[in-house]
């Protein structure tokens, strides 16, 4: 009888722990909301950039002339903008659902970023290749 009581208490504690853990970390199991993402890329007017984008698992690549604006309706977005050999700065302004999330860039050759839902998970730039 005493053994069953301890076994039942142990099961209740384990189940309680699992329920609490799942409720605290439910964001791991819920997809992020779909949002409107707008990226305004600027720099030396007339310069060209190579844009590579992974939007909700769909990859695309294109060449654009600065200034350029890219718009998406996505849950997850990963992007890279790379300028050619032309001199000058490169900037990217990120807006999610109309709210400015920040500016990345400067005297760099590429800008790389990632968003998930309304959050920014990566925003960086640097020299050379990404």
DSSP assignment, residue 34? P
Let me know: does 109 contact 127? Beta carbons within 8 Å.
yes
Q: Count other Cβ atoms within 10 Å, centred on residue 89.
A: 14
Q: Is the pTM of this model over 0.85?
A: no
Domain spans in the chain, listed from the N-terminal domain onward? 1-30, 35-126
Let me know: does 83 contact 106? Beta carbons within 8 Å.
no
| CATH code, 35-126 | 2.60.40
Q: Rounded to an integer, what distance in angstroms lies between the CA atom of residue 38 and that of residue 57?
A: 18
pLDDT reported for residue 3: 82
Q: Rounded to an integer, what distance in angstroms lies between the CA atom of residue 115 and that of residue 122?
A: 7
Q: How confident is the model at residue 85 (pLDDT cuts 50, 70, 90)?
A: confident
Looking at per-residue confidence, does 59 or 126 come out higher? 59
Q: Count other Cβ atoms within 10 Å, centred on residue 61.
A: 10
Q: How confident is the model at residue 88 (pLDDT cuts 50, 70, 90)?
A: confident
């Amino acid at each position: 009888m005493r053994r069953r009581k301890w076994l039942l208490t142990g099961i209740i504690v384990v189940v309680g722990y699992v329920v609490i853990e799942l409720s605290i970390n439910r964001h791991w199991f819920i997809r992020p909301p779909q949002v409107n993402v707008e990226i305004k890329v600027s720099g030396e007017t007339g310069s060209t950039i190579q844009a590579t984008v992974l939007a909700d698992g769909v990859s695309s690549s294109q060449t654009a002339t600065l200034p350029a604006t890219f718009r998406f309706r996505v849950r997850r977005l990963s992007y890279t903008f790379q300028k050619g050999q032309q001199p000058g700065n490169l900037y990217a302004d990120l807006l999610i659902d109309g709210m400015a999330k920040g500016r990345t860039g400067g005297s760099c050759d590429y800008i790389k970023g990632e968003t998930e839902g309304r959050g920014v998970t990566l925003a960086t730039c640097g020299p050379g290749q990404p």
